[in-house]
Each structure stands twice: as C-alpha cells, then as structure tokens.
C-alpha cells in the first residue's frame, strides 16, 4: 500500500488540519462531526515530492486523499502502454473516495506533479459509515451524481468546444469561489500535463492559450495566469456549453 498509516500517534495539530480539510472541501461530510473525527484520527498528512506515486490502478484501496497544496495527476495505462491523464487536481480536490464502490480498487494511478501536501484518510472508516448511515449514503450518492454530471459535461465539451474554450473552461474551474472581476491562477509548471488532461497536444495547448490571450485579454506569465475581467472569459467559454456559469458541475 502506498500510503500506510505510520505507527506514531497523529499529533493534535495534524488532526485539526485533517478535520478542517474535510469540513472545507467536501459536501458530503457536512455536519457529521463524529465521522470527521474518526477520519482525521486515522489520517495523516504527507509531504510529497514531484514524481511520487500515491497508488497504482487496480491497487487495493485503503485510503482516500485531499490535496492541501501542489498538484496531482490521475492517469491510466492502456493495454498498449499509453498513458492517459484523466484528471489534474489542484488544492482542495478529493480523490480515491469512490473506490469503496469499485471492488475497493483504484480506477487509475495518482502521481504528484508539483511538490504537494496531501491529506490521507482511511477509506474503510468511510465505507463502514456509508453502509451504516443512510443519510450519508444519500449524500454520497448526490456527490457521485455530481461527478457524473461533470463527466458528461466533459464529454460534451470534447464534442463542441474548440481548444481555446476547453482551456478557458479548465481555467474557470480553477477560479473556485471567484465568480467575477480580477483573478490570478497558478497552473502546474509542466504544461504538457494540462494539455494531456484536456486531450490535446502540447502545441495545440500553446496555440489555444495564445488565442485566449488575444480573444479575452487574459495574461500569461510563466505558470501564472491573470484574468482581469472574468466575465469576458465566461462569455467566451460558456457559450459553447449546455450549462450556464457558475455551473454546479464544476
């Protein structure tokens, strides 16, 4: 197992941070303080270097994760050996939690792509709670249905959005709570990973980013992207989508 719980007792400060992350970043733990305490008590905080692998596809799933800082890529390998990046996760993202319903194995591999602080929680504790508490099962069902909607939207975008709009949509997801005005975002340093996440070649991604700069006025400086007027980007991107911004599926 890639993220074993170590034997030393989790320090109080760590448990507090672990609990806070669950309260902040997930909807389906809402108000379930006993469960949050159990997950935080059995969890740990890992400092991860670039390249570190958290789990491999089909590994037996013992943990789920929340990104405190850094970036994580989720990918799968085809039988031919090609790597397919299915997600690139920023701070605040939870992953691995749905493995409790997939034969308890992970559906993809998870690898650190920028130095990261990762919260690790015991999956069996969550699994037992969901099986015991019908209201938690329903909350998790809604959570998974929202993921379903987000994926359906992604498939839609690959049909109708041009490359610049797809990059725009990726940036809008990163805006989180910011819904108007001026925003500065930080992408992972390695843009080829973001390109792969969006299903495009690196050179297509570069052209799309240039086009976005010309068409919406956003500014790119290294890994930082500054959006002076979010509304222009929203109009540009969301016209080729069946959802209106801000969309619940993000």
Q: How far is the CB of 142 from a second copy (least distance, A)?
A: 5
Our CB check for a second copy shows the closer of 199 and 217 to be 199
Q: How far is the CB of 184 from a second copy (least distance, A)?
A: 27
CB 249 within 8 A of CB 155: no
Q: How far is the CB of 64 from a second copy (least distance, A)?
A: 14
Our CB check for a second copy shows the closer of 7 and 248 to be 248
Q: Rule CB under 8 A: is residue 180 a binding residue for a second copy?
A: no
One of 33, 69, 101, 224 touching a second copy (CB under 8 A): 101
Residues paired with 227 in a beta bridge: 183
Quick one: which of 22, 49, 25 has its CA closest to 37?
Answer: 22
CB 188 within 8 A of CB 113: yes
Q: Rule CB under 8 A: is residue 86 a binding residue for a second copy?
A: yes
Q: Rule CB under 8 A: is residue 147 a binding residue for a second copy?
A: yes
Main-chain phi, psi angles of 106, to 5 degrees? -75, 140
Quick one: which of 145, 100, 146, 148 has its CA closest to 121?
Answer: 100
CB 165 within 8 A of CB 240: yes
CB 119 within 8 A of CB 68: yes
Main-chain phi, psi angles of 129, to 5 degrees? -65, -40
Binding mask 42-61 for a second copy (x = CB under 8 A): ---------------x----
Q: Which positions touch a second copy (CB under 8 A)? A: 57, 76-80, 82, 84-86, 98, 101-102, 107-108, 130-131, 134, 137-138, 140-142, 144-145, 147-149, 151-152, 154-156, 158-160, 196, 199, 238-242, 244
């Amino acid at each position: 197992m890639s993220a074993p719980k170590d034997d030393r007792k989790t320090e109080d400060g760590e448990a507090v941070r672990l609990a806070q992350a669950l309260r902040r970043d997930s909807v389906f733990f809402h108000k379930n303080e006993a469960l949050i305490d159990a997950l935080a008590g059995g969890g740990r905080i890992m400092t991860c270097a670039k390249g570190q692998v958290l789990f491999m596809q089909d590994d037996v799933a013992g943990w789920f994760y929340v990104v405190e800082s850094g970036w994580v890529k989720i990918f799968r390998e085809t039988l031919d050996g090609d790597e397919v990046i299915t997600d690139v996760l920023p701070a605040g993202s939870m992953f691995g939690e749905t493995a409790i319903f997939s034969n308890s194995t992970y559906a993809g591999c998870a690898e650190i792509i920028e130095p990261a602080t990762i919260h690790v929680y015991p999956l069996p504790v969550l699994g037992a709670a969901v099986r015991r508490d019908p209201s938690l099962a329903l909350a998790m069902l809604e959570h998974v249905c929202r993921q379903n909607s987000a994926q359906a939207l992604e498939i839609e975008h690959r049909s109708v959005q041009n490359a610049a709009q797809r990059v725009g949509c990726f940036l809008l997801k990163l805006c989180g709570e910011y819904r108007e005005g001026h925003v500065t975002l930080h992408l992972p340093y390695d843009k080829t990973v973001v390109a792969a996440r969006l299903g495009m070649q690196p050179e297509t991604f570069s052209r799309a980013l240039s086009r976005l700069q010309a068409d919406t006025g956003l500014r790119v400086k290294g890994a930082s992207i500054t959006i002076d007027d979010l509304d222009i980007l929203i109009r540009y991107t969301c016209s080729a989508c069946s959802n209106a911004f801000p969309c619940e599926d993000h």
